[in-house]
Structure 1
């Protein structure tokens, strides 16, 4: 009689364990497929670039993948090559702003804050309403403890996108830092 009562509990336990294992296999399989796809893209882009037929978009894509893989040094090189191709043209298009922004982000990830600032400003020169570059510039100002510049930059970002949650959140934090706290009696 006791064996019959524990049978459903054991079945439920086994089913849960199998379900958990199936979930883990699916998640690992998805990760493996994503990694294969990324590595295949890297190989394809590197081949094109080695052949000398890489485009601005391909350098940008490869740099972005390197950033995603936490290789900012390699990303910098790819973004700089993309910018060289852009600058070879007579007229620099505003669509180049994301490349300058990404280069700034790569420098930021290497703690090269002054270089990051320069690149974010380049992005904003090409596209003054580029909210992501404004947020990134505000962030690097914060890292350098330039609170008033960070606050001003986040406010510019809000002018472009009043619902910008990043800028709203950072402004609140920065304003709290600027308000001196009174000692409790």
Structure 2
């Protein structure tokens, strides 16, 4: 029995190391894929004009890397390209642009872009949630609550809208 104990511990250690190795390799491949896409898009868009999708993809990579100020001009080029191409998913681009401004605490510009996204796609719940959050940061509680309620009309089970609306209601109505 005692001779099995070291084997058992080594087996557990080996299993843990295997799981860690798999996780590390997955992360390496994921990072490598993103870096390859970044390099490919940067090189392509430096040398020639791209389409809205390519600009959007590059700007989204910048957002993921928290390079917000670099993402803004790329999102703006994506908007311009989308309008030239009569792209239908312009709301996604405006939402991304709003997020880049929001991350830099430029809430008025974020709000303007979220509203533009909603003008292009009135049922875009993610943009509504982002707009509500920007209103909250600007201390515009009633507008934030109204925006979350509109999102809940479209998507009643949206957990973000539910949670934020409930939180705002608790703040507005003091408990007795």
Normalised by the length of structure 1, the TM-score is 0.90
Aligned partner of 1:40 in structure 2 is 36
Matched, 1:63 2:59: yes
CA contact (8 A) 2:94 2:117 kept: yes
Matched, 1:120 2:127: no
Instruction: Give the total of aligned pairs.
Output: 176
Offset from partner CA, 1:97-154 (integer Å, 9 cap, x none): 0000010011111111111000000101111111111111001111111110000000
Q: Which moved more, 1:112-121 or 1:65-74?
A: 65-74
Q: Distance in 2 between matches of 1:76 and 1:45?
A: 16
Normalised by the length of structure 2, the TM-score is 0.95
Q: Which of 132, 154, 160 is matched with 1:166 structurally?
A: 160
Unaligned stretches of 5+ residues in structure 1: none
Q: Which of 98, 106, 110 is matched with 1:104 structurally?
A: 98
CA contact (8 A) 1:60 1:78 kept: yes
Unaligned stretches of 5+ residues in structure 2: none
Aligned partner of 2:70 in structure 1 is 74
Deviation at 1:94, TM superposition (A): 4.1
Aligned partner of 1:132 in structure 2 is 126
Q: Distance in 2 between matches of 1:164 and 1:21?
A: 38
Aligned partner of 2:26 in structure 1 is 30
Q: Distance in 1 between matches of 2:117 and 2:30?
A: 30
Q: Distance in 1 between matches of 2:88 and 2:140?
A: 28
Q: Distance in 1 between matches of 2:147 and 2:87?
A: 23
Instruction: Supply the RMSD in Å over aligned alpha carbons.
Output: 1.3
